[in-house]
Amino acid sequence: MTVFERLAGFSHRHRWTALIVWVVVLAALWAGASAAGDRYRQDHSLPGTESQRALELLTEHGSDQAGDSLEIVLHDAGGLERTEVRERVEAMLAEVAELPLVAQVRTPYEDGTAALSADGTVGYATVVLQVRSEQMAVADTQHLYDTASAAAGDGLRVELGGEAARALAESDGGGAEGAGIMAALVILVFMFGTVIAAGLPVITAVFAVGSTMAVIVLASHWFTIADYTPYVMMLVGLGVGIDYALLVFARFRSELVAGAGPEEASRRALDAAGRTVFFAGCTVILALLGLVALGLGSLQGMALGVALTVLVTMLASLTLLPALLAIFGARFARQFPARAARR
């Protein structure tokens, strides 16, 4: 008996335990990720290039150009006296200057107030950062924006501009991924004829991608992971997850039609299709890890994140899916009767 057959037998015997473990792991990881929050940041460094050496030289000599800047833009609709506007702006800029990753706050006036237009309705100030925009975590940018926005109200508006501020306006996505899952589910329903049979590959992929996403959120506090990494992970994870689970389930259904019982069909499916999933997953992981050798900042974090997604997806296809097949095995045996029974 091969390793894959033993794994299928173990998952079949301990079907509920396997399912509960996956649910608990997913819930625990997301509880920790929700409490910790993410700290995505980008690193566009290009080791060995002249531009990278120039940037390192500027940083070494403490040049302000080593970091980027943000602009605080103010607009007063006329609801406040100019003196009150001045007081609010001065207090706000003093707080912003004390924030982490802020090198200094520049204003055209020597008294530290933001530059105001002739009618006193528009003003601005430049916040010089200690880091590049791509290295500025979204949480830090949000904190800066919240501090600046404290001066708003009574007709006074405060907005943030600059490269780092763009991340605050980006949507969290989710619509495209949801549409993709629904499209895959519809196609699988046409293939297998039932929602339950079509849903198992999707459920397996969602569990795998969801668990890995939570791990990446936590890992972003210790490793440089770009903010676009989760989108790439979802794209690859859902596609690979449904593909791997579909290979196993299609073979499982073929074995049922050939006359095997649910447990025997699961063993044969994992022994044949499980091998394909294992070697295909290992090949993809090795290929992704090859990107790490390039040494390109955020690309390393993305490669590791996607490789981890494929690894967890492969594990889910070899452990969670056989457990689900065991739970619904009797129903599938009725839905896909053996050929001999139909003759």
CATH of segment(s) 3-38+171-338: 1.20.1640.10
Q: What backbone torsions phi and psi does residue 258 show, to the nearest 5 degrees?
A: -75, -10
pLDDT of res. 316: 92
pLDDT of res. 44: 63
Closest residue by Cα to residue 260 from 271, 272, 269: 269
- Inter-axis angle of helices 297-327 and 195-219, nearest 10: 140
Q: Is 303 exposed, middle or buried (0-12, 13-18, 19+ CB in 10 A)?
A: buried
CATH of segment(s) 69-163: 3.30.70.1440
- For residue 196, give every residue at least 6 positions away whose Cβ sits within 8 Å of its Cβ, in sequence order, or none: 328, 331
C-alpha separations of 172 from 140, 168, 177 in Å = 17, 10, 11
- Return the domain boundaries, the chain: 3-38+171-338, 69-163
pLDDT of res. 177: 64
- CA gap 254, 316 in Å, rounded: 21
pTM reported for the whole predicted model = 0.69
pLDDT of res. 341: 45
pLDDT of res. 340: 45
Tens of pLDDT, residues 144-193 = 888 888 878 777 888 888 777 777 765 555 566 677 777 777 887 777 67
> Which residue ranges in the chain fall short of pLDDT 70?
43-52, 54-56, 58-67, 78-80, 109-120, 134-135, 169-177, 192, 295-298, 335-336, 338-343
pLDDT of res. 65: 46
